Amino acid sequence: MSELETLYRLQQLDARIFELRAAMENHPYIEELAELRLEEEECSRRLSEAESSLGASSRKMARLEAEIVSLDDKLSREEGKLFGGQVTNPKELRGLQAEVRSLRKQKDALETELLEEMESQDATRAVLEELRTRHGELKSRIEDKEAALRAETGEMGAELESLEREREGLSSLLAKDLLDLYDRLRAAKQNLAVVKVVDGVCQGCRVELPGKEYDRFLKSEGIFRCSNCGRILVR
């Protein structure tokens, strides 16, 4: 290959490398995955909220149950005194009756509270169950999507690697000055530094080369640049 042919091949490689990188970076699955991961995070957050609210509810129920047990003890003691026949003083008996009524009332209130807490805990459990299912679904959708992305970009990645190896080989054949010019042009000219001339028209800027310039180009051996866009021209 002549220097120019090598340069042109390098340009083709770079164009494909650029295309592949863009396709990999902009793969639609990447955005879909980002959205799924956001959803999964939100679900995870709600899940731990529900779990901690379930924990708080269980602690509250245990406390209510313990209070009810202790009230029960107190109640049996007072009722024992009331019905045991040891207390005969009417004033004292009335006092005991009032105490028993008040303890029963407290116990009723605690039992109602316990019942309400159980109902609310059932609701929380149902929500938790739903969230766990949803979370599991999201996780497996993410895994599937990641695998699909790997499968789709794997081939591109392999092609990219082989192109990059070829590129390294080719660029080692070119003079540093020429490579520098090529890189500068590529940076300035939308990644397109070396272009063909077809029917006298530069394929980089689509401007027709003036007659004399075209003649000189056809006879030229070395590097020839478009007078309009500055790109390196090949036949």
Binding footprint of Zn ion on the chain (CB under 5 A):
202, 204-205, 226, 228-229
Contact of 58 with 139, CB cutoff 8 Å: no
Smallest gap from residue 195 Cβ to Zn ion (A): 7
In whole angstroms, give the CA distance from residue 26 to residue 142. Answer: 18
How big is the chain, counted in residues? 235
How far from each other are the two terminal CA atoms of the chain, in whole angstroms? 14
Nearest to Zn ion of 90, 222 (CB atom): 222
Smallest gap from residue 228 Cβ to Zn ion (A): 5
Smallest gap from residue 194 Cβ to Zn ion (A): 11
Smallest gap from residue 9 Cβ to Zn ion (A): 20
Smallest gap from residue 209 Cβ to Zn ion (A): 8
Nearest to Zn ion of 114, 201 (CB atom): 201
Task: State the sign of the Cα–Cα–Cα–Cα dihedral 171, 13, 183, 211.
Answer: positive
In whole angstroms, give the CA distance from residue 144 to residue 109. Answer: 52
Nearest to Zn ion of 50, 209 (CB atom): 209
HSE-CB for 63 with a 13 A CA cutoff: 8
Smallest gap from residue 185 Cβ to Zn ion (A): 11
Name the nearest CA neighbour of 214 among 231, 230, 233. Answer: 233
Residues 103-140, buried b or exposed e (16+ Cβ, 10 A)?
beeebeebeeebeebeeebeebeebbeebeeebeebee
Nearest to Zn ion of 7, 226 (CB atom): 226
Helix%, strand%, coil% for the chain, nearest 5: 80, 5, 15
